[in-house]
Amino acid sequence: MRKVLRSLTIIVLLLVLSAGSALAGGVIKVGADVGGQVEIQGKVLGIVILEEKNDTETGISIGGEYFFDMNESLVVGVGVEYQLKRKNEGAEKGFNFVPLYVLGRYNVSPSFYFTGKVGYNLFQAEDLPEELKTKGGLFYGFGGGIIFADTLQLEILYSMNNGKIVLDEDIGVNYELIWNYSKIGVSIGYKF
């Protein structure tokens, strides 16, 4: 499964880098993720044994998106974002998500838009024991942005990243650690 997800990530990146003129354009962006919080819920045999909420340190994300004009006001596209490792406050080990998503934009004016994104996360956690593995989950976000001088954009996005840490199925115990990471991201992007 991991090989398939890595392959999908590479395919999306190749599409972004080799987009033809049929696309309306794209954006390469970098941003800071502030106001993050992780909600962790541990379950054994479906019974909740742990519930915890932690704030996260500020993280950095880089990404790319490609757009197709549907009409003057509506734009659709695809995107990928790589979140550099970040930690829960006080934690020694970090985690990150890599969302692959589709998006929609509603242009209120030539310089202001609202956006919504939905897709799938790849989830990684540092230094897990061999018997544990990570699984991705749903990604979604919504926000808005401003376009300056037709080439720069500033975007604010609230997003939710979901994943799990599970015990290897060969061991025979049904254990999962549900990992829900919400954040507010502020990014600046170069439009092409």
> What tens digit of pLDDT does each residue of 91-138 get?
788 999 999 999 999 999 989 999 999 999 999 999 888 888 899 999
CA-CA distance, 58 to 25, in Å (whole number)?
Answer: 30
Q: How many C-beta neighbours within 10 Å does residue 68 have?
A: 13
Q: How many CB atoms lie within 10 A of CB 153?
A: 20
- Yes or no: is domain 2-17+25-191 CATH 2.40.50.140? no
Confidence of residue 173 (pLDDT cuts 50, 70, 90): low
Highest mean pLDDT among 12-16, 42-46, 77-81, 129-133: 77-81
Tokens 């897990």 correspond to 128
Q: How high is the pLDDT of residue 172? A: 59
Q: How confident is the model at residue 2 (pLDDT cuts 50, 70, 90)?
A: low
Ordered by start, the domain boundaries in the chain are: 2-17+25-191
Query: What is the C-alpha separation between 89 and 60, in angstroms, rounded?
Result: 15
